[in-house]
Amino acid sequence: MATRPQSTASAAVGPGSRRLRAGAHALSAAEQPALPVWAYEGQVPGPVLRLRRGDVLDLTLENALRDPTTVHWHGVRVPNAMDGVPHLTQPPVMPGETFRYRFALPDAGTYWYHPHWGTPEQVERGLAGALVVEDDLPPPVDRDEVWLLDDWRLDASGRIAEDFYAFRDVAHAGRLGQRLTVNGAVEPTLALQAGQRLRLRLVNAANARIFALELPGLPAWLIARDGMPADAAVAWEGPLLLGPGMRADLVIDAAQAGRFTLRDRFGRGERLLAHLQVDGKAPTGAARPAPQPAAHEPLPAPTSTDAWMQPLVFGGGMMGMGGWPEDSPAARDARRQRRLAGSREADPVWTVNGHAHMGRHDAHPPLFSVPRGRTIRLQLANRTAWWHPIHVHGHHVKLLARNGEALPVQPWRDTVLLSPRDTAELAFVADNPGRWLIHCHVLEHHAGGMGAMFEVS
Ligand code: C2O
Ligand code: CU
């Protein structure tokens, strides 16, 4: 895992359309045997796609994998047919087939792309990349970089462990890996000149790992979350919680020479992720003022009256209320039979409003159906003992309240992290027609039933 990201997809197919080839690939690393991965364009992570707001993303997925796949554009307000959810918004792209994704990018910000078929396996094997949509008037910086965070579970031979959908992962915290990487590399270093201002776009592409991030020693501000600019820059002080699927854009001033380390302190212990190496002499004088986030995207404002009120109660998991289901010998045997039959499904362990969303995404009636333009208020209740990053497709949602308390600043998000027993209230205008998923982005939890679908007509 030492390949460096490049900034654009390379080979072109047909007029205006770039190629995005998903295929098996052996990553060569200097002192190790090559690591078999699945990769976009032979790179882990996939190429950083950089476009401007209003541009048309036009890309032909070529499936050179042995399994079906799709591409989901996480956080982008795409037309429904481009959302990449197999059976729900498009047929799965079978091995040897292609699919052309083509849509205008409505919002600037940091997004990412990943498969939505066999997601726990395909993302873990390396299929993920950043999509950067540049602002019309970005805050001025000297450098603009993406750090895509991931973890990998390797087996004793150093290969990606094949225990996808393992019950102990599905029913607990999801699949956590012991090797942490940034842009596919272990503890890479980004070199800066003293005095430079860096925009750093963090993407959490891990299946299940939640990061609590710190980078002590340099002045830093948060200017956007999940692509959406903050109203004002917020000084980065305490640990920044970044659940799977979530993004954070930071501005960091290389105010002094030295080596500064991005570290994760979620749960026990501390893990090092990447370093900033600042060389040279910073110009003397006053510290630079806080950056100004880009002007806010004009998203439709939720109305406070006549909203569709929708409770979303998350249940299940081991040690959750009800402790369901038991890891009984019968359940274990059923899983063994399914594995022998080649099935790659998880067990139904998690529920939304009492229902486990298993199997094909189109096999379930919508949780709610609303006419286009209706304001939705989602009342999320985590009745489990676990953390869940809840992702809404096709829309940005406003986070109104947590645990019954209205937030003084109500930010836009596409993924909201719930701690155990947390509640949260979200609102958005359902202005994008189609059938959309809401699901936990711990990929094993989603595979274990933690999802739902809603319809806007
Ligand atoms: Cu990033 Cu439905 O997912
Ligand atoms: Cu979850």
Distance CA 140, CA 150 (A): 28
Ligand 1 closest atom vs CA 439: 2
Q: Does residue 361 line the site of ligand 1, with CB under 6 A?
A: no
Question: Which amino acid belongs to residue 108?
Answer: A
Q: Does residue 396 line the site of ligand 1, with CB under 6 A?
A: no
Rounded alpha-carbon distances, angstroms, from residue 143 to 195, 204, 284 = 11, 20, 20
Distance CA 179, CA 177 (A): 6
Q: Does residue 245 line the site of ligand 1, with CB under 6 A?
A: yes
Question: Three-state SS string across 135-202, please?
Answer: CCCCCCCCEEEEEEEEEECECCCCCECCCCCCHHHHCCCCCCCCEEEECCECCCEEEEECCCEEEEEE
Distance CA 428, CA 395 (A): 7
Q: Does residue 446 line the site of ligand 1, with CB under 6 A?
A: no
- For CA atoms 118, 120, 125, 130, the dihedral sign is positive
Residue 112 CA to ligand 1 center (angstroms) comes to 9
Are 41 and 9 a contacting pair, CB within 8 Å? Answer: yes
According to the model, what pLDDT value does residue 360 have? 87
Ligand 1 closest atom vs CA 85: 2
Q: Which ligand is nearest to the Cα of residue 175, counting in written order?
A: 2
Q: Does residue 74 line the site of ligand 1, with CB under 6 A?
A: yes
Q: Tell me the two tokens of residue 317.
A: 């998991």
What is the domain partition of the chain in residue ranges? 308-456
Distance CA 151, CA 206 (A): 6
Distance CA 129, CA 183 (A): 9
DSSP assignment of 363-417, as one string? GS--SEEE-TTEEEEEEEEE-SSS-EEEEESSS-EEEEEETTEE-SS--EESEEE
Listed residues: CB within 5 A of ion ligand 2: 388, 440, 442, 445
Residue 388 CA to ligand 2 center (angstroms) comes to 4
Q: Does residue 437 line the site of ligand 1, with CB under 6 A?
A: yes
Q: Does residue 445 line the site of ligand 1, with CB under 6 A?
A: no
Q: Tell me the two tokens of residue 74.
A: 């996480």
Ligand 1 closest atom vs CA 446: 2
Residue located via tokens 């796609």: 49
Q: What is the pLDDT along the chain (457 residues), one digit of tens a residue?
A: 433 333 333 443 445 689 999 999 998 765 566 789 999 999 999 999 999 999 999 999 999 999 999 999 999 999 999 999 999 999 999 999 999 999 999 999 999 999 999 999 999 999 999 999 998 888 999 999 999 999 999 999 999 999 999 999 999 999 999 999 999 999 999 999 999 999 999 999 999 999 999 999 999 999 999 999 998 999 999 899 999 999 999 999 999 999 999 999 999 999 999 999 999 998 877 788 999 988 766 789 998 888 999 999 999 877 544 444 555 666 667 666 666 665 567 888 999 999 999 888 888 999 999 999 999 999 999 999 999 999 999 999 999 999 999 999 999 999 999 999 999 999 999 999 999 999 999 999 999 999 999 999 9
Q: 116 φ, ψ to 5°? A: -125, 20
Give the count of beta carbons closer than 10 Å to the beta carbon of residue 404: 8
Residue located via tokens 């090797």: 179
Distance CA 279, CA 195 (A): 9
pTM for this prediction: 0.93
Q: Which ligand is nearest to the Cα of residue 394, counting in written order?
A: 1
According to the model, what pLDDT value does residue 236 have? 96
Nearest CA to ligand 1 atom 3: 74
Q: Tell me the two tokens of residue 7.
A: 């900034």
Are 251 and 221 a contacting pair, CB within 8 Å? Answer: yes
Q: Which ligand is nearest to the Cα of residue 350, counting in written order?
A: 2
According to the model, what pLDDT value does residue 5 have? 35
Nearest CA to ligand 1 atom 1: 74
Residue 352 CA to ligand 2 center (angstroms) comes to 11
Q: Which ligand is nearest to the Cα of residue 384, counting in written order?
A: 2
Check whether domain 308-456 has CATH 2.60.40.10, yes or no? no
